[in-house]
């Protein structure tokens, strides 16, 4: 456990907890952006440079801003009058704790995590490009179609309906 991993992991977890529990929705989104940034730093520590920068560009630069726009368009920036937790929040938190317990028991008792240390692998952009063009060309085309469909679908769903419909 290196000091840098400990600090970044603590920061990310703290901001994730804050993102889920703050009253003000815009504060929640800002804490979510800190979580994304912490995760990007972890990706960089693990040696996945391209993925780390793509995480910052896409998640912080686009997805979080999209959430901010949605909050502002649905009047979420006003402080809520009722409690922020739903009526069955105890059950929800209980389920989450159970899931974490199961996952950590599985991780700690597994043989897969006791492998020996490996040197840092290389994931240059050229290698990623070659893989995308050779082995993963079908998923690449499909994700292009998916993003186009999502773009058109989101615009149509959120468009103002015409009068008289």
- Considering beta carbons, is residue 112 or 163 the nearer one to other proteins? 112
Shortest distance (Å) from residue 164 CB to other proteins: 16
Q: What is the b/e burial string over 16-48, where b = at least 16 CB atoms within 10 angstroms of the residue's CB?
A: bebbeeeeebeebbbbbbbbbbbbbbbbbeeeb
Q: Which phi and psi (to 5°) does residue 17 adopt?
A: -60, -40
Listed residue (31, 7, 9, 10) closest to 20, CA to CA: 31
- State the minimum distance, in angstroms, from the CB of residue 136 to other proteins: 5
**Closest distance to other proteins from the beta carbon of 162 (Å):** 13
Q: Which CB, 29 or 162, lies closer to other proteins?
A: 29
Instruction: Say if CB 77 and CB 26 are below 8 A apart.
Output: yes
Contact 15, 38 (CB under 8 A): yes
Q: Give the residue with the Cβ less far from other proteins, 151 or 164.
A: 151
The least distance separating other proteins from the CB of residue 11, rounded to whole angstroms, comes to 12
Half-sphere exposure of residue 132: CA atoms within 13 angstroms, side-chain side: 12
């Amino acid at each position: 456990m290196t000091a840098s991993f400990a600090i970044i992991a603590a920061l990310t977890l703290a901001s994730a907890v804050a993102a889920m529990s703050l009253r003000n929705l815009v504060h929640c989104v800002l804490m979510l952006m800190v979580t994304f940034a912490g995760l990007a730093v972890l990706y960089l520590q693990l040696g996945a440079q391209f993925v780390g920068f793509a995480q910052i560009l896409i998640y912080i630069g686009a997805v979080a801003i999209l959430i901010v726009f949605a909050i502002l368009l649905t009047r979420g920036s006003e402080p809520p009058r009722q409690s922020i937790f739903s009526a069955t929040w105890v059950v929800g938190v209980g389920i989450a704790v159970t899931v974490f317990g199961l996952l950590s028991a599985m991780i700690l008792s597994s043989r897969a995590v006791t492998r020996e240390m490996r040197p840092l692998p290389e994931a240059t952009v050229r290698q990623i490009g070659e893989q995308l063009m050779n082995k993963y060309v079908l998923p690449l085309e499909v994700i292009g179609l998916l993003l186009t469909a999502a773009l058109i679908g989101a615009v149509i769903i959120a468009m103002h309906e015409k009068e008289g419909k």
